[in-house]
Structure 1
Amino acid sequence: MSPRILIVGGSIGGLFAAVLLERAGFDVTVTERSVHGLEGRGAGLVAQREVFAMLREVGIEHVARVGVTAQERIYLDREGGIIHRQHMPQTQLSWDVLFRTFRDLVPDDRYRKGLRAVNVARESDGVRVRFADGSEERADLVIGADGVGSTIRGAVVGPDSVPEYVGYATWRGLVPEAQVPPEAARQLFERFAFYEMPGSHILGYLVPGPDGSTAVGQRRYNWVWYRRYAPDALDAVLTDVDGGRRPFSLAPGRVRPETADVMRADAARLLPPAFAAVVKAEPKPFIHAIFDYAPVHMVADRIALLGDAAFVARPHTAMGVAKAAGDAFALRDALRDVSGLDAALATYEAERLPAGRAIVTYGQQLGRSLG
């Protein structure tokens, strides 16, 4: 009998694993803590080879064509002049389309929303996961794909296994193309744009619309502003509209208005005019604090970690989705090809531990000017 697999975490990484494992003949169920689902939360992503391999494997290579291509890279000075340009065509795929496509490949009765895992217990015949609503699920194998704030991680590497804040955060915005002021659009559109200053930098590029549209007028401008925050200052910016201090990020609409106003005022004072304009045009900016984490183990007994639940790498690498795809491939291959569940999980860990450590180290190198 095929082992029953429970994947905790229904974002991209969990979906990659679910689709591959189901097609390999395993009995797979996914749980996701979000009640309303995850669509609409993504921007653009730079696809690496693992993502293209995943699309080929599943037979949906057409998803790679749902993207916006930036024809060149430009670097601005404080006054908005272009001080360097480089011909470097690069296509940003749609996270939303990628998520929606893989979500549609998992039957609804195998993707259960509104279940937040709170406890993991090993038993003689498997693993039992308890959820916040009091329900429980038993499985022969539990895969933790529940992201940077993973609950499952503690069952693998201990309760103190938390990511380390690196000293800076990213403010982000996704502005509908039509709402970008014309002067800013003329300079920023169809390009990857950058502005660098001591301890901070901002970048931006066009991405598909929320429905995956790449038609002119239907796209969005994605900007990302890296800024340093001391721990006490981070506490303030991560305090949400209800007064709660969130551990990792605030979603659109959850940032306090006064916090967003300070950020916009700083943008007007510090950034080139085009970037200041797109920051101002975003009514609901959101923020992610940046963390590093590299576990000693990815596997303990019948529990395995995948994606950001395992290794947390800085976004400079643009490898978050690729890392999850690589983990999903390696886990599928090990479970399919290696006899015995324990031996298969050991094979998975041996392959992906070095890969994850290398990505985290690479991110640390890229972020040295900020941290």
Structure 2
Amino acid sequence: MRIVIAGGSLAGLFAAGLLRRAGHEVHVFERSRGGLAGRGAGLVPQEEVFTALRALSLDHLATIGVVARERIFLDLDGSVAGRVATPQMQVSWDHLYSGLRDLLGERDYTLGRAVARAGQGDGAAWLEFEDGGRETADLVIGADGVGSAVRAAVIGLEQQARYTGYVAWRGLIPEDALPATAADVLLDRFAFYTGERAQALGYVVPGPAGELEPGRRRYNWVWYRRADDLAATLTDRAGRAHPFSLAPGQLTDQARDRLRRDSATLLPPQFRAALLAEPDPFVQAIFDYEAPQMVRGRLALIGDSAFVARPHTAMGVAKAAGDALALATALAAHPAEPALQAYQQARLWNGRAIVDYGRKLGAFMA
């Protein structure tokens, strides 16, 4: 089949790689003009990620990670209030992205094509772009995330994700940017601090090219905070409000300075040091969303286009990989439209369960 995918992040890349390996003609359209390399931070891989990488003969990507030997829980004064010996591996989002992106040639991955809408008719499906162009295919996959343009065509109406009232401030710094006092506590551990309707966490991930040697790795930190005025929080240097996030370099100097000032009284000193070492913090608004269905005719949703789960679950990439695996398996066993129904049956409950789990984990932020 000819398959077109809206969205070139990890969900779209997992699907593209698996479906191309199965013999389909696949083309990915990504709205970003400059590509997504360098936009991610760290992630904790789950079993579905390893399974998908094995299926793509990219097993080596699953081994390029940093193991945190324990979890520690900090008090506001920086003392360690608790420890749990739970070793866990963290990988680099951008290194995983680059490995998957390399599976597609330049002709099969188009940048700067923002999807406006999707539809189907006369035995085919289509994507229509904001530039007025159209692509027709046997199957259209919406992997275009929380603000999916394909979603309306699948569920039959406009339906947006619900903002939860808080955001994740993020940074990704060279580990040697940490002062020694902070590095002694944070490095090679998964660290947490939970305050009043707030939480900070951090861990080490590989370097941008997968470097694992101490001194060449990076430290990934996250600070969950309430943000009642989302439009103001997501307004960039040019005065434009974004709907879901600000990328590195888009945050205003005033917002960055305010974040730094707040960290002086609201974060343990180790996390404050990590925050101050990041010249360009970025921010992601936290949403919940559950699609009532994942398929319609020759249209399918995968990843965050179908279910948006809070990052506390550490299952967003695993969910995307699991969707891609299930879709490829179903298409190998059935004709197109029956295959999509089999895919939905396999993944609908899973998506709902992950979103519900995320709500429970994030209940302390209410």
Taking structure 1 as the reference length, what is the TM-score of the superposition? 0.96
Structure-2 residue corresponding to 1:364: 359
Distance (Å, rounded) in 2 between the aligned partners of 1:281 and 1:180: 7
Structure-2 residue corresponding to 1:313: 309
Q: 2:324 aligns with which of 304, 322, 328?
A: 328
- Say yes or no: does 1:242 pair with 2:204: no
- Residue identity opposite 1:356 in structure 2: G
1:121 shift after superposition: 3.0
Structure-2 residue corresponding to 1:51: 49
Q: 2:186 aligns with which of 185, 188, 191?
A: 188
- Residue identity opposite 1:321 in structure 2: V
3-state SS of 2:16 partner: helix
3-state SS of 1:217 partner: coil
Q: 2:6 aligns with which of 5, 8, 23?
A: 8
CA contact (8 A) 1:96 1:212 kept: no
3-state SS of 1:80 partner: coil
3-state SS of 1:223 partner: strand
Distance (Å, rounded) in 1 between the aligned partners of 2:284 and 2:52: 27
Q: 2:170 aligns with which of 172, 180, 199?
A: 172
CA contact (8 A) 1:45 1:95 kept: yes
Superposition pairs for residues 26-41 of structure 1, below 5 Å?
A: 26-41=24-39
1:366 shift after superposition: 0.5
- Residue identity opposite 1:361 in structure 2: D
Structure-1 residue corresponding to 2:81: 83
CA shift digits 1:79-122 (9 cap, x unpaired): 11111011111110121221111111112211111111112232
CA contact (8 A) 1:174 1:222 kept: yes
Structure-2 residue corresponding to 1:299: 295
Distance (Å, rounded) in 1 between the aligned partners of 2:75 and 2:193: 7
- Residue identity opposite 1:272 in structure 2: P
- Residue identity opposite 1:346 in structure 2: Q
- TM-align CA RMSD: 1.1
CA shift digits 1:192-239 (9 cap, x unpaired): 111111211100111111121111111111110010122xx2221111
Structure-1 residue corresponding to 2:336: 341
Distance (Å, rounded) in 2 between the aligned partners of 1:344 and 1:282: 46
CA shift digits 1:314-361 (9 cap, x unpaired): 0001001110111011111111101x3211111111111101000000
Distance (Å, rounded) in 2 between the aligned partners of 1:116 and 1:162: 18
- Residue identity opposite 1:156 in structure 2: V
Aligned length: 366
- Residue identity opposite 1:365 in structure 2: K
- Say yes or no: does 1:140 pair with 2:138: yes
Distance (Å, rounded) in 2 between the aligned partners of 1:204 and 1:46: 11
Question: Which structure 2 residue ranges, 5 or more long, are not aligned?
Answer: none
Distance (Å, rounded) in 1 between the aligned partners of 2:76 and 2:19: 50
1:159 shift after superposition: 4.1
CA contact (8 A) 1:68 1:93 kept: yes
3-state SS of 1:147 partner: coil
Question: Which structure 1 residue ranges, 5 or more long, are not aligned?
Answer: none
Q: Identity across aligned pairs (percent)?
A: 53
CA contact (8 A) 2:21 2:56 kept: no
Structure-2 residue corresponding to 1:353: 348
